[in-house]
Amino acid sequence: MSVQNLLAGKKIVVTGSASGIGKETARLLTAQGATVLGVDLNKSFDHVEEFYRADLSDGPTIEALVDVLPSGIDGIANVAGLPPTAPAEKVLAVNLVGLKHFTELMIDKLNDGASIVNLASLAGFGWQQSVEAIKASENLGYAGIKDFIAKWSVGNEGGRSYFFSKEALVVWTMQNRWTWRDRGIRMNAVSPGPVDTPILQDFLETLGARAEEDARVMDRPGTPEDIAPVVAFLLSDMTSWLRGTNIHTDGGMASNILCDMHGFS
């Protein structure tokens, strides 16, 4: 298999395919020989063989989507997500509850040896500080989101709903490292740092001084072109023994945080 045809013959679902990282992922997967099935709330047929319009914050809509998607899927790129400026209930519904619901319903439509890639975030880096809340969210459904936000203080203030959604997603990815091992189905995550997409300004507004500090340390924001190749790599047959891995694709920001935490200048 040549690098130019890394995903030849594979059928891959990309959520959030209409813009940003999702759109670039769809473009790259298509260039690498995959048949891409795009899913997004906003209609776009760019770089996809088929497009499915769906609201991933709504359980019945996700169930209807899964019903119409074909079987024989070789990979899922769960890229769709809302920024921290969106209402907290919507953030948790799309970034966590909906993502999990969609993925679990799709398992029976996946081929043996399929790859699931979740787009997490550097925002999920500190998940160890949220263990109890993450455990409490394991069986969280749509109906319980509002009460969960109040109980665990994961509302909009400081972008907490977004950070929590990514923390829980990183842990869920690790938890499912072997869930479908008997079928060779693997799950991994990619955690970008700040990326120059249409929602970058949302992060800057939410994080304020923290965003300014990131900008001082980093040489530049990432681009969708920085992230999509890592997603494509994890979807390829080259990564069949990567299970429950979270790849920080952040220009070195995670390493910077770790060095600061432990006194390595």
Indicate the SS3 state at residue 128.
helix
Q: What share of the chain is helix, strand, coil (3-state, %, to 5)?
A: 50, 15, 35
Stretches in the chain below the pLDDT threshold 70: 1-3, 203, 207-215
Q: What is the pTM of this model?
A: 0.94
Q: What is the pLDDT of residue 219?
A: 87
Q: What is the pLDDT of residue 39?
A: 98
213 Cβ contact partners less than 8 Å away, ≥ 6 residues apart: none
DSSP string, 39-104: EESS---TT-SEEEE--TT-HHHHHHHHHHS-S-EEEEEE-----TTS-HHHHHIIIIIIHHHHHH
Structure tokens at 236: 């390829």
* 150-207: pLDDT as tens digits: 999 999 999 999 999 999 999 999 999 999 999 999 999 999 998 988 777 776 777 6
Distances (CA, A) of 75 to 10, 92, 93, 118, 214: 8, 23, 22, 11, 33
DSSP string, 195-214: B-STTHHHHHHHHTHHHHHH
Backbone angles phi, psi at 14, to 5 degrees: -120, 115
215 Cβ contact partners less than 8 Å away, ≥ 6 residues apart: 194, 221
Q: What is the pLDDT of residue 2?
A: 45
Q: What is the pLDDT of residue 215?
A: 64
CATH class label, 3-260: alpha beta
Q: What is the pLDDT of residue 1?
A: 39
Residue 163 φ/ψ region, left for φ over 0, alpha for ψ in the -120 to 50 degree band, beta for the rest: alpha
